[in-house]
Amino acid sequence: MSLLQQLMGGEGGSIWAIILQVAFLAFIIAYFFYGQRIQVAIWNRDIERSLRRLKLLRDRAREKAIKTVKELGKPEEDPTPRIDQFLETFLIEPVNMDPAGIVWKLDHLLDVRDLSMKDTVRRIAPKADETNLNNLENLLEAALDLNQIYRIVRHYYLMGKRTNAYIITAQLHMILPLIMEIAYAYDGAVEAFAEGQPIGDGAGPLLACRLLSGREVKKIEKDMVYGEAELEGRRILVLKAEGPGGNVGKPGEALEKLIDTYGYRPSIIVMVDAAQKFEGEETGEVSDGVGAAIGGIGTERFRIEEVAHKHKIPLYAVVIKESLKEAIAPMKKEIYEGVNKAVERVKRIIREKTKEGDLVIIAGIGNTIGIAQ
């Protein structure tokens, strides 16, 4: 007598063993034919849950934007319809079949987009000063990005469900954790932009302020300022976006104009920016290397590289490491301390790569919200 028969009650237990075998076989056959549908249903349930969270984040950002515009801008009319229109704006990138000159076309479109957004913010918040206008623009852009993420996820979810295309649903489900991480990052940014608090991406401008402490700053280009400092006999020009409003400026144009203004070639250019860390790295760690340390769509990096190449200027980079969420959330203590380390790293590069009497340009790249010059 088998162990199963003993457990099931002797000879009579064999009937139950057969029933269990048949049931198990039926389950295998059913899973073979319907397993994919079951798996897709599980994926869709997870996506629906995340979609509800995204809608909550989107709606919360929209309400925060409306409330802040009313408080700071004091519009005579309800700004809600204009804000809803703003959240649906988009940018059509230029044709790239012939890549020659595409950087300048894209740069032009970005300028038009920036001017259009600023004009819209001025109209819906007429009583806000320049600093608050820049902060409101940042706030509305964060709300716009959350709205865009929600619409894209909803689009692929509904498309996969309507067409029963399990590949679409599977791909969306696989990247959903990354999408939610980005969405939560923007949710954290909304509060920072509404309150005008410094964010992690302001590490570069904060370093520039440290070097320019107590010194006069001058405007060099739209939304860009610079000042002069001195280090062990070297003349230093420090460049950053104009604060304390939420600005990133156009450091490429400002760098070119700065070199033309002074009329002679700097020995080196040192760029300082926040950089996304790898998993396992500590927030606030500092690294240095070679190249243009600047994010974005690429037009400003192209300009900086062109200027460095044209004048044969060595280009060095110092980065303060942080996650995407930390970059657009209120600045953490670790990032603040990382700026102190970066100051010493920049000074070391200047000592090692230049000699007394040389001209050095330092560019603090990033969003200057909450950081005055």
Tokens for 201, please give them: 């991406």
Q: What is the rounded radius of gyration, in angstroms, for the C-alpha atoms of the chain?
A: 28
Distance between CA 151 and CA 141 in Å, rounded? 15
Q: Which value, to the nearest 10 degrees, does the dihedral of the CA atoms of residues 65, 67, 70, 71 take?
A: -110
What is the residue extent of each domain of the chain?
43-195, 200-364
In 10 A of CB 210, how many CB atoms? 16
Tokens for 337, please give them: 């301390």
**CATH topology (fold) of 200-364:** Rossmann fold (3.40.50)
pLDDT at position 9: 52
Residue type, position 33, single letter: F
- Please answer whether residues 279 and 372 qualify as being in contact, where contact means their C-beta atoms are separated by less than 8 angstroms: no
Residue of 319, 322, 326 whose CA lies nearest to 278: 322
Distance between CA 295 and CA 301 in Å, rounded? 8
- Please answer whether residues 219 and 240 qualify as being in contact, where contact means their C-beta atoms are separated by less than 8 angstroms: no
Distance between CA 114 and CA 241 in Å, rounded? 15
State what percent of residues in the chain have pLDDT above 70: 95
Distance between CA 158 and CA 162 in Å, rounded? 6
pLDDT, tens digit, 9 for 90 and up, residues 99-128: 888 888 988 998 899 889 999 999 998 888
pLDDT at position 4: 46
Residue type, position 317, single letter: A
pLDDT at position 3: 46
Longest alpha-carbon distance in the chain:
103
- In DSSP notation, 117-163 reads HHHHHHHH-TT--HHHHHHHHHHHHHHHHHHHHHHHHHHHHHHHHHH
**What is the average pLDDT value for the chain, to the nearest integer?**
88
pLDDT at position 53: 96
First to last CA, the chain: 89
pLDDT at position 7: 45
pLDDT, tens digit, 9 for 90 and up, residues 146-159: 999 999 999 999 99
pLDDT at position 148: 95
Region of 96 (left: φ > 0; alpha: ψ -120 to 50; beta: rest) is alpha
Please identify every stretch of the chain with a pLDDT value under 50, giving residue numbers as ranges. Answer: 1, 3-4, 7
Q: How far is CA 62 from CA 80, 84, 155, 253, 266, in A?
A: 9, 8, 20, 34, 46
- Provide the whole-model pTM: 0.85
pLDDT, tens digit, 9 for 90 and up, residues 124-148: 988 888 888 889 999 999 999 999 9
Region of 332 (left: φ > 0; alpha: ψ -120 to 50; beta: rest) is beta
- Please answer whether residues 295 and 230 qualify as being in contact, where contact means their C-beta atoms are separated by less than 8 angstroms: no
